[in-house]
Amino acid sequence: MGRCIRDLRRPVKLRTARSSRGSCGARCRWARRLREERIAERLAVSRTPVREALLRLYGERFLERNGDGGYRIAHLTLRSIRELYGMRMALETYALRETVALADPEAMPALRGAQCRVGGACARGARH
């Protein structure tokens, strides 16, 4: 796990989802204020979807509020990372159980094959 966690004091490369407008990347420092106007301008979108995305990221604890009402990237601790992955594991396990309960028995061989491919990729350290 140690090689997966970066030194959180160093700048990191943030990537946004690719869209029909292309991709956008930015180098950010943890304490830097994320400016809604600047993000909207770089992505060539209105401020409304940017504001909604920032609120969602804040709600998911990826961002923290500045005193001036803006946002900054949240400082992640080993504890918060463990909490996030623990929650993810719980949700994915629940989703898998529900899916298997509804699965068509004829689809099980294909699902087992997919499971083996994913397991093998994880064992090799593949990333997406």
Structure tokens given for 65: 């509020």
The pLDDT score that the predictor gives to residue 30 is: 53
Please tell me the CATH code under which domain 2-73 is placed: 1.10.10
Quick one: 28 exposed, middle or buried, by C-beta within 10 A (0-12, 13-18, 19+)?
Answer: middle
Specify the pTM: 0.42
Q: Domain residue spans in the chain?
A: 2-73, 78-123
Measured CA distances, 62 to 22, 55, 106, 127 (Å): 24, 10, 41, 21
Q: What is the pLDDT of residues 54-105, one digit of tens each?
A: 999 999 888 998 888 789 988 878 898 898 889 999 999 999 889 888 888 8
The pLDDT score that the predictor gives to residue 31 is: 59
82 vs 30, higher pLDDT: 82
The pLDDT score that the predictor gives to residue 116 is: 85
